[in-house]
Copies of this chain bind each other. A is one copy, B any other.
Amino acid sequence: MKRDVIIAVDAMGGDHGPKVAVEGAVAALEDANISKIILVGRESEIRPALRGLSYDEGRIGVVHAEEVIGVEEAPTTAIKAKKDSSIVVGLRLVKDGHAAAFVSAGSTGAVLAGATTIVGRIRGIKRPALGVILPSAAGYFFLVDAGANVDAKPEYLLQFAQMGSVYMEAIMDVASPRVGLINVGAEQEKGNALTKEAYGLLEGGGLNFVGNVEGREIPLGTVDVAVCDAFVGNIILKYSEGFAKGLMSMLKEELMADGMSKIGALLSKKAYGRMRKRFDYTEVGGAPFIGLKGLVVKAHGSSNAKTIKNAVKQCSKFITTDVVGKIEEKIGEGRDEDGI
């Protein structure tokens, strides 16, 4: 049975407010696979944002939620206290089957805490993780966990690897994805307490495990799935962002420092444009929380309309390839009675 592609979007999340989220969501309707997008948040702010945009009214719905959870709020407390927040209401739509996915650019912690309690984990999955697709010199790789479990256990890392593997196979069409354990040395005995123990688990985990991967190798594209705890994953994710920015600003400085280089830079404009596009976070879209019984996607907090659009469109692929069902099937311990 082909499922309806209905995607709920948090209209209140992100640094740029409802206007950007609504505009991005509406733009995603260009994907003909999407049956409907449900905007979740304050109707009094969503309606004005919709005005002036042209779209098929039958494919846009609005579900009112009065409250907003800020990024500065303690996630678990906020989720419990603000039952009428856009995040809680949006997640409920997924839980109750009214939407196949929820996209939010709001607080990562609140989306995660809410998703875990409201949507729930796949039976047998110890911890959901945040997975991110990052560019490498050879293409792309999946970094997991990039944001959920800052204090992880070896058995979590094993499941992150397994889920990442399913993801790369189902969504990115990579056959037998190469899985690497992010570590401080290539040899098995290297590492901290966590990675030393995780190594053996990964070896026996039914994966195409290629061993430890050092920091130097990650951006070169030697693995398809790079596994780590969320502390390390967050640092890598954000460091890449800052480093690319810093490097490009240094390059700009050097290109402007002498006349000949300056002229050269003007001529190479197209190449720099393509470079920017490769590193454009607005192109990548969103990062899925994997291990949940429904699809929850986190978009970057500083998302613009294009990022939101891409995150929503990405969900359409997640839904049609049934990544949740595949993780459940391959790693979960059978379906719950109330499982989807």
Asked if A333 lies at the interface with its beta carbon under 8 angstroms from chain B, I say: no
List residues of chain B with CB within 8 A of the CB of A271: 251, 254-255, 257-258, 261, 264-265
Interface centre among A151, A187, A270 (most CB of B within 10 A): A270
Q: Are B270 and A261 in contact, CB atoms less than 8 angstroms apart? A: yes
What are the residues of chain B within 8 A of A232 when measuring CB–CB?
231-232, 235
Task: Mark A92-135 against chain B: 1 for CB-CB distance below 8 A, else 0.
Answer: 00000000000000000000000000000000000000000001
A173 at the interface (CB under 8 A from B): no
Question: Which residues between 257 and 309 of chain A lie within 8 Å of chain B, taking CB atoms?
Answer: 257-258, 260-261, 263-272, 274-275, 278
Asked if residues B243 and A151 are in contact (CB atoms below 8 Å), the reply is: no
Q: How far is the CB of A176 from chain B (nearest CB, A)?
A: 23
**Number of A residues, CB within 8 Å of B:** 64
Q: Would A219 and B191 be within 8 Å (CB), given that A137-B250, A255-B271 are in contact? A: no
Contact present for B257 and A268 (CB under 8 Å): no
Which residues in B have their C-beta under 8 angstroms from that of A335? none
Known contacts A184-B231, A191-B150, A275-B254, A239 near B261 by CB under 8 Å = no
| Binary per-residue interface labels of chain A (215-253) against chain B in the complex, 1 for a CB within 8 Å, 0 otherwise | 111111100000001111011111111111111011100
- Nearest B residue to A263 via CB reads B267
A161 close to B (CB within 8 Å): no
Q: Which residue of the partner chain B has the closest CB to A193?
A: B151
Q: Which of A158-202 contact B (CB under 8 A)?
A: 182, 184, 187, 189, 191-193, 195
A8 CB, nearest partner CB in chain B, Å: 26
**A308-B230 Cα distance, complex, nearest whole Å:** 37
Q: Which of chain B's residues have a CB closer than 8 A to the CB of A241?
A: 215-216
Q: Is the interface of A mostly helix, strand, loop or mixed?
A: helix
For A278, list chain B residues within 8 Å (CB): 250, 254
Kindly provide the distance from the CB of A223 to the nearest chain B CB, expressed in whole angstroms. Answer: 12
**Inter-chain contact B258/A270, CB cutoff 8 Å:** yes
Shortest beta-carbon distance from A339 to chain B in Å: 31
Q: Looking at the complex, which one of B215, B260, B275 makes contact with A238 (CB distance below 8 Å)? A: B215
In the complex, what's the smallest C-beta–C-beta distance from A239 to chain B, in angstroms? 4
> Which residues of chain B are within 8 angstroms of A263 by Cβ–Cβ distance?
264, 267
Check B245 against A274 for contact (C-beta < 8 Å): no
List, in ascending order, chain B residues with CB within 8 A of A250's CB: 135, 137, 275, 278
Given contacts A151-B193, A257-B274, list 11 more A-B pairs with CB under 8 A: A184-B234, A215-B238, A216-B238, A216-B241, A218-B239, A220-B245, A239-B240, A247-B247, A261-B268, A264-B271, A268-B268
Can you offer 22 A-B residue contacts whose CB atoms are under 8 A? A72-B187, A74-B189, A137-B249, A147-B184, A150-B192, A151-B193, A184-B231, A214-B238, A216-B239, A216-B242, A218-B242, A219-B242, A221-B246, A239-B239, A240-B243, A251-B271, A254-B272, A255-B271, A264-B264, A264-B266, A264-B268, A267-B267
